[in-house]
Structures are given as structure tokens and as C-alpha cells.
Amino acid sequence: MAKNIKRPKGTEDVLPKTVSRWQTIEKIARETAENFGFKEIRIPTFEETDLFMRSVGETTDVVQKEMFTVTAGDSSFTLRPEGTAGTIRAVMQNGMLNDALPLKLFYILSCFRHERPQAGRLREFHQFGAEMAGSPLPAADAEVISLAKSLLDRLGIRNIKLYINSIGCPVCRARYYDSLREYFEGSKDKLCMTCQERLVKNPMRILDCKSEICQEIAKDAPVITDYLCEECSAHFAKLQEYLQLRGIEYSVNPRIVRGLDYYTKTVFEFVTTEIGAQGTVCGGGRYDGLIEQLGGPKTPALGFGMGIERLLIVMEKQGCGFMEPKKCDVYFVNMGEAARNKAIQLASDLREIGYFAEFDLVGREFKPQMKYANNIGARFIIVLGDNEIESGKARVKFMETGEQLDITLDGSFADRFDEIYYEKLLDSIPETSAMKALTGAAEEDK
Ligand code: ATP
Ligand code: MG
């Protein structure tokens, strides 16, 4: 027998049973971002490899070890490992920096990184991200952090800590790199191979190394906050003032340098200790040099990425609420050809005004159809057989109480069903129907 094909390691199937959890996060994320004035952008799944080399940076884990790259002809393409680079590329290519600034964008997308799969660490994962371009002010940093915090709050996530740091600008970083190099020089040979290289190209990256030996060596390394220039230092102080003003709790953690090369000044992470080692749910920061570095006009910008799988793990652990999957409003139990044809017609009338309607499609007997309707939790059942077709009348059974109401199977059917539904289940009336009820009421008022 042929071997069954399995999904690739580090990927996940989201089944109908749990998809409403994803929909909950996506819906609240969209709403929250829009309330902050961010607009959605959708970008390609893959980009030219050079884009990530030039933005994410050649000394990062992502570029050095984690990219899924394919060559096609003379070109090299990479599946996006994050959303910022592609978003900024799209912003520049579509001339969006000519619009009124700041430009505020958000996205929900899949990312691809060739990592060792573990809980909360996948090869295909998903991010909600936001980017703001055009403001150098620390008020913008506070606004972006506040968007992330607001989303976490609205999802019901608790006990999550915000860590902030400033990794300065190229001016203060030059001085800092010198003293880092001096610090690591003595134990150079004990660092991992990657960090030995980092020592030359970007010594700050060593602080972000996941190897225990490197972490141990880095324990007493000088901290960036002691090397900030006046401007970066003032920016960082002002940001903290704004966070306090908004009542957002934070701790300064000079160890946070972030995994991507393009950051300047503010960097931040939201971390929980409740889900094991992969507790960083959100990471972000300012990247004032990136747009220029990619050939655009000098434009300050900042943003963050939030891992949706990690959000889900925390939410499940903390027992946060999710939207209920949509329930079947009405099931037509139908016996015989004529009854099925009627069911098809009535169901389509109801679907047109926003109801979730189903009927038997596999030719089951009466009892199994009733059982099926029960299993899917149908709110109402309408039985259609020869008698009903002949008399043009049927009974609507309200499953919650077992109560039965009369309905005629003519042109008034949908209106009558709407009436019954409205009477029994006012709270869960579908939107289109609720709107009709409202406009109807408004017209009566006239
Ligand atoms: P980590 O240190 O955990 O590897 P990172 O610094 O590589 O994270 P970022 O590039 O900042 O992560 O990505 C932003 C967010 O995306 C992370 O905070 C995390 O929630 C999520 N994320 C990153 N890599 C993965 C992955 N392989 N699987 C699932 N989520 C991920
Ligand atoms: Mg990583």
C-alpha cells in the first residue's frame, strides 16, 4: 500500500473544531488595530532573498540558519521569515510614503523559519504585526506599545510582562561595540563559532545567543543603557514617561537586543513565564535606518510582531474566552424527492437573509436525520414529508424547549421564520435579519 503523506515537521493543521479560536484572535486584532487607525496590508508570501539579507541582517540567526530559500533560474527567493521587510518593501514600491504621515499598517500573515520545532516554535507560524512610519517621536513608540498591550488585554491575557530597552543609534552603538569587544576579547575562544564571527561584525548579537556558554560569558557584559548618546537617552526617558502616563507597567531590561539587525533606539518584548521556554509573545522596536538602508528616503519607523500560536497557548492555559462557532439555525428533515426539492428552496430563501440552514443530502431515514440535526445542535427543525408538501404547511420545532409552531410553505415562509426566530432567540439573531428588524422598526416610527 502507498505510504500516507504527512504534513511537514513544524507545520500545523487548524481543524474546524478549533478554527474559531484563530478567528477570535484575528477579529480582535483587526478591530484593535483599526481603532488605533492602522490599515491592513497584504504582501507576498515570498520575496527576493536580498530583501531579508539587507533588512533582517546577515549576522542574525534568521538569515544565517532559518530561511527557506529557493532558486528559480537566476533568481533567489525566500519565504518571508517575518513581516516587516516585505511591508516596508511594499510601502516604498507603492509610493506610500508620499501620503500623509505617519503611515500606520497592520498585517496577519504566516512566517517561515527553519528552526527545531518545539511547543511554541514552528517552521510555519503566524504573526499579527503593526508598523508605523514617519514619526521620530517617543510618543509614537508609546502608541505602538500601547496597541500591542491593548490587544493582549482585549484577548484577556494576564500576567504578561513588558520589557523595554534602548539599543541606541549608530553613534552610541559605535562606542558600545568597542567596550563589548574589549569585554569579550579575553574569552573569545570559548564563544560559539557564530558568536566569534559576531564579535567582529555585530558584538551586540552575542547577548542574544541561545547557547548557554555564550550566555554565561555575556552575564557581566557592559549594558547599552550606559552608552546612550544624549538624544537616545532623552528619547528613552520620554518613552517611559508616556508609558507611565498611560498606566502601562514595564521594566527596563538592558539584555533585550532583539533578534533582527534593523532596530535602533527602543526595543521591547512582552513575555510570559506561564508557557515554558517560548514565552516571548511579542517583540518589536524602532528601526529608523531601515527604509533608507533599503534605498528609500530617510524615514523613522517602528513596529512589532506578535506570534499567534504563542498567544493561543497562553490563552488556552489561562482559560480565556473564545468566540462560539456559528450554530445551525434550522435543519430541514426531508423524506422523498419532492420534500428535498422544497427543502432546497426554503433553505436557500433563509440563507439569503443570513440564516445558517441545512438539509439532508445523503438520503438518510427519518430517525438518523433527527439524530444528525440534534448532533449538530440545530436550533430549529422543520420536518418535510409528503403530508407537508400536500398541505403546504409544516411545524417548526424549537429545540431548546420542544415547542412547535405552524408555518406555511409559501412566499411568506422566510418572513414567518424570521418572526419565530426573532421571538425565540432575540440575542442571537443574524446580522442581516437584525438590521431588517431595526429598519423595520424605524419605518414604523415614521
Ligand atoms: P525567539 O527568541 O523566540 O526565537 P524571535 O526574536 O526570533 O523569537 P521575532 O523575530 O521578534 O522573534 O518574532 C516576533 C514574534 O514571533 C516572537 O515574539 C514570537 O511570538 C513569534 N515567533 C518567532 N519565531 C517563531 C516560531 N519559530 N514559531 C512560533 N512563533 C514564533
Ligand atoms: Mg528566533
Q: What is the pLDDT of residues 228-258, one digit of tens each?
A: 999 999 999 999 999 999 999 999 999 898 7
Give first-to-last CA distance, the chain, whole Å. 72
In Å, how far are 211, 271, 272, 439, 443 from 276, measured between CA atoms? 17, 11, 8, 52, 58
pLDDT, mean of residues 194-204 = 89
Alpha-carbon distance of 259 to 205, in angstroms, equals 8
Residue 136, number of CB atoms within 10 A of its CB: 16
**Which numbered atom of ligand 1 lies nearest the CA of 62?**
7
Ligand nearest to the CA of 125: 1
Identity at 357, one-letter amino acid code: A
Give me ligand 1 centre to Cα 310, in Å.
Answer: 9
Q: What is the DSSP letter of 225?
A: G
Contact 65, 278 (CB under 8 A): no
Cβ–ligand 1 contact at 342 (below 6 Å): no
Ligand nearest to the CA of 120: 1
Residue 324, number of CB atoms within 10 A of its CB: 9
Contact 420, 403 (CB under 8 A): no
**Which numbered atom of ligand 1 lies nearest the CA of 61?**
7
SS3 for 88?
helix
What pLDDT, on the 0 to 100 scale, is given for residue 443?
Answer: 43
**Which numbered atom of ligand 1 lies nearest the CA of 282?**
18
Burial class (CB in 10 A: 0-12, 13-18, 19+), 114: middle
Question: Over 90: is that where the pLDDT of 4 sits?
Answer: yes
**Which numbered atom of ligand 1 lies nearest the CA of 81?**
10
What pLDDT, on the 0 to 100 scale, is given for residue 365?
Answer: 95
| Closest protein CA for atom 20 of ligand 1 | 307
pLDDT, mean of residues 275-301 = 94
What pLDDT, on the 0 to 100 scale, is given for residue 259?
Answer: 66
Q: Tell which one of 155, 160, 210, 310 to mutate to probe ligand 1, the residue whose CB is within 8 A of the most ligand atoms.
A: 310
For the domain made up of 19-169+229-318, give the CATH fold: BirA Bifunctional Protein; domain 2 (3.30.930)
In this structure, what C-alpha cell is assigned to residue 267?
Answer: 526595543
What pLDDT, on the 0 to 100 scale, is given for residue 441?
Answer: 44
pLDDT, mean of residues 410-415 = 95
Alpha-carbon distance of 80 to 275, in angstroms, equals 26
Alpha-carbon distance of 410 to 412, in angstroms, equals 5
Cβ–ligand 1 contact at 113 (below 6 Å): yes
| Closest protein CA for atom 29 of ligand 1 | 121
pLDDT cut 70: percent of the chain above it? 95
Query: Where in the chain are all domains bearing CATH 3.30.930.10?
Result: 19-169+229-318
Alpha-carbon distance of 37 to 21, in angstroms, equals 25
Closest-CA residue to 128 (of 247, 304, 296): 304
pLDDT 10s digits, 254-284: 989 876 778 899 999 999 999 888 899 999 9
Cβ–ligand 1 contact at 60 (below 6 Å): no
What pLDDT, on the 0 to 100 scale, is given for residue 432?
Answer: 58
Alpha-carbon distance of 56 to 293, in angstroms, equals 11
Query: Where in the chain are all domains bearing CATH 3.40.50.800?
Result: 330-437
In this structure, what C-alpha cell is assigned to residue 293?
Answer: 538602508
Q: Tell which one of 59, 67, 155, 280 to mutate to probe ligand 1, the residue whose CB is within 8 A of the most ligand atoms.
A: 280
What pLDDT, on the 0 to 100 scale, is given for residue 427?
Answer: 57
Residues 6+ away with beta carbon under 8 Å from 321: 24, 156
**Which numbered atom of ligand 1 lies nearest the CA of 127?**
16
pLDDT 10s digits, 30-71: 999 999 999 999 999 999 999 999 999 887 889 989 999 999
Length of the chain: 446
Helix extents (H) in 155-258 = 170-185, 193-201, 212-218, 230-245
pLDDT, mean of residues 130-154 = 98
Alpha-carbon distance of 346 to 102, in angstroms, equals 51
Cβ–ligand 1 contact at 84 (below 6 Å): no
Give me ligand 2 centre to Cα 358, in Å.
Answer: 46
**CATH 3.30.450.20 correct for 330-437:** no
Contact 307, 284 (CB under 8 A): no
- Output the pTM of the full model: 0.90
pLDDT cut 90: percent of the chain above it? 83
Q: Phi and psi of 257, rounded to 5°?
A: -120, -10
Cβ–ligand 1 contact at 82 (below 6 Å): yes
Among the ranges given (147-156, 199-208, 432-441), the one the predictor scored with the smallest mean pLDDT: 432-441
Give me ligand 1 centre to Cα 394, in Å.
Answer: 57
Question: Over 60: is that where the pLDDT of 428 sits?
Answer: no
Give me ligand 1 centre to Cα 307, in Å.
Answer: 6
What is the radius of gyration, based on Cα positions, of the chain?
A: 29
Cβ–ligand 1 contact at 127 (below 6 Å): yes
Cβ–ligand 1 contact at 275 (below 6 Å): no
Question: Over 70: is that where the pLDDT of 434 sits?
Answer: no
**Which numbered atom of ligand 1 lies nearest the CA of 311?**
20
Name the pairing type of β-strands 301-307 and 280-286: antiparallel
Q: Where in 193-336 does DSSP place strands (E)?
A: 251-252, 264-271, 280-286, 301-307, 330-334
Residue 109, number of CB atoms within 10 A of its CB: 20
Query: Alpha-carbon dihedral of residues 187, 190, 196, 200, nearest 10 degrees?
Result: 0
What pLDDT, on the 0 to 100 scale, is given for residue 446?
Answer: 39
In this structure, what C-alpha cell is assigned to residue 340?
Answer: 428535498
